[in-house]
Amino acid sequence: MKLIWIIVAIVTAAIAIAYFRESTIFTCTTFFDYEKQDKWEVFCKAMDSIREKHDPATLQNISRWLIINEYSATPKKDWASLIRERYPFVEFIQKNKDQKGQANSMNIILTRIKPYRYWIHWEEAWYCRKSCIDRMFDVIRSTNVTQLQITQLNKVPNWLDSSKHPRALMKTSGGTEYFAISPAPGTDEYLTKSVTEFNGDFFGHWPLYSLLPSINRVNCYNIGAFSTDPKLWPIKFEWDYARRWLLADNKKAVLPDGPVIRDESKHRSTYSKV
């Protein structure tokens, strides 16, 4: 009898390992109490677009849905209840005042993605204008790409809007086209500089990693946490992490049609002071 239980335990463990080896977590950061834009409205538009543009079989590839909401001392509504009512499959995390800031949100996420193989990250203002998740999985499963970004701004897919970043059009064995993106010439020089030297010149040599909607290979995110030093807010903490990401030999790619967009006429960044 004891041997049977040992065998059961081994089989169960093997199934669990196989499950997590292929499983995917979806995360999204938001600030529902932001005063300059209705973030609940755009979040609902984003979530609804994901569900409308993809069939249930595709969405079943996502094992866990996780939303991180920024702290507010005066919340407008009971956001946890609203999430449970409208999106019962979503796990909601409300940050406290000691966890304020995007860097803390990302660090909460980094601790949650570890058991999974793939990580789809989102920001609430972005929505799908067409299906993309099947293609995202095709690229991340069949290549050495670490992060596949899926966004476009002003009708041009990100990273294809500048002549600075070399790109190569590739195709998976499943037929999905994607652009492999390389750092702009001269980026190596910028990577040697201190984050305290960050200035506008760095943007043309950004080290490729982005917080915008993408799918990521989890086992490549072993490069430490995002810096929560307030002196690095709002952009420098991202550049600091992106530099470490690129130096760890991670690979960037984008979908050429930019299937995920946001309404720039209404968007108000939480980084903005106006």
> pTM for this structure?
0.91
The CA radius of gyration of the chain, in Å to the nearest whole number, is: 19
Within a domain: 89: yes
Q: 266 in a domain, yes or no?
A: no
CATH number at residue 57: 3.90.550.10
20 neighbors 117 (Cβ within 8 angstroms): yes
Is position 114 within any domain?
A: yes
**Is 271 a domain residue?**
no
CA–CA dist 177, 155 (Å, integer): 18
Q: How many CA atoms lie within 13 A of 192 on its CB side?
A: 3
Per-residue pLDDT of the chain (274 residues; tens, 9 = 90+): 565 554 544 444 434 444 444 699 999 999 999 999 999 999 999 999 999 999 999 999 999 999 999 999 999 999 999 999 999 999 999 999 999 999 999 999 999 999 999 999 999 999 999 999 999 999 999 999 999 999 999 899 999 988 899 999 999 999 999 999 999 999 999 999 988 888 878 888 999 999 999 999 999 999 999 999 999 998 999 999 999 999 999 999 999 999 999 988 777 777 655 4
Condensed to tens digits (0 to 9), the pLDDT of residues 46-67 reads: 999 999 999 999 999 999 999 9
The three-class DSSP label of residue 143 is: coil
Residue 268 lies in a domain: no
Q: How many domains does the chain have?
A: 1
* 154 in any annotated domain: yes
Whether 27 is covered by a domain: the verdict is: yes
* 3-state SS assignment for residue 91: strand
**Domain span at 108:** 2-261
Domain presence at residue 9: yes
